[in-house]
Amino acid sequence: MTHQATPTPEAVAALPRLLSADNFRDLAGTGDGYAAAGGRLRRGVLFRSNRLELDADDLATMATFGLTAIHDLRQPNEVARHPNVEIRGARWHHHPVPGIPESEVSSLMTAAQTYQAMLVNYQTFVTDPACRAGFASLLRTIARTDGPQLFHCAAGKDRTGWAAVLLHHIAGVDREVMLEDYLLTDTYAVTSRQATLDSILENLGSERVPAYEPAFSCDSRYLDVAYEAADDSYGGLDGYLTRGLELDDADLEAIRTRFVHSSPASA
């Protein structure tokens, strides 16, 4: 079953917004933070975003978050085409995760082909060694780095979305909440998504726009196939984290300790 994003206006208004990085938001959610194992997520600790081509106002806003690390999941050619702005005090870490190969992207002629390519893409987050190496490097570095941190890819949707799922899972967030957070991209990234589709229209023609649309929207089935791959290969996300990504207990516990604060009832 496919879910659609239906965030309330209050939830949308509560999340930090950057016009030049429209999919930027706090991974902890709104208000007191998402419920997690033994408490709630701390806000202001981990942020997710699309690429950081920030204007002066948004750069000034981001400087107030005290970031110590920027984690970039893009491939080297993506970084070269769209370099991040420098954020003072934040060290850049590169954890490249392959997406759909550019040669394959250019051959996608129908929405059905693109949808299938997206399903395969999410499966490879689990099955492909290069993808696992990138996600392992990201999580291990987050665990071993102090201070507020931000991770991102190009659109902040797929590679970033899967990384967000893993961090939420480590923290003990309910899977339905993880899905809702994933789907928020469809609400937040309206401007950047439309700009990409406009570029496709200008450069490839109107008939290619609907063909590519599944690549720029969230779909619960995308996550489902990744979960299924983790179940098949590792017995679930816990096995994927410990055996697939080879994360040790100390790194997993460091993420939980930093990201979760005890609620009064569980303290």
For residue 91, the 8-state DSSP code is E
Is 153 designated active site? yes
**How many CB atoms lie under 10 A from the CB of residue 227?**
16
**Residue type at 11 in one-letter notation:** A
CB-side neighbour CA atoms (13 Å) of 74: 22
- Whole-angstrom Cα distance, residue 6 to residue 26? 18
186-189: long-range contacts at Cβ-Cβ below 8 A with a sequence spacing of 24 or more? 186/4, 186/5, 186/217, 186/218, 187/5, 187/7, 187/12, 188/12, 188/15, 188/17, 188/22, 188/23, 188/24, 188/25, 189/22, 189/23, 189/50, 189/155, 189/156, 189/157
CB 234 within 8 Å of CB 15: no
CB 71 within 8 Å of CB 93: yes
E strand or H helix at 206, and its extent?
none
Q: Which of 52, 153, 163, 223 is catalytic?
A: 153
Catalytic residues: 153
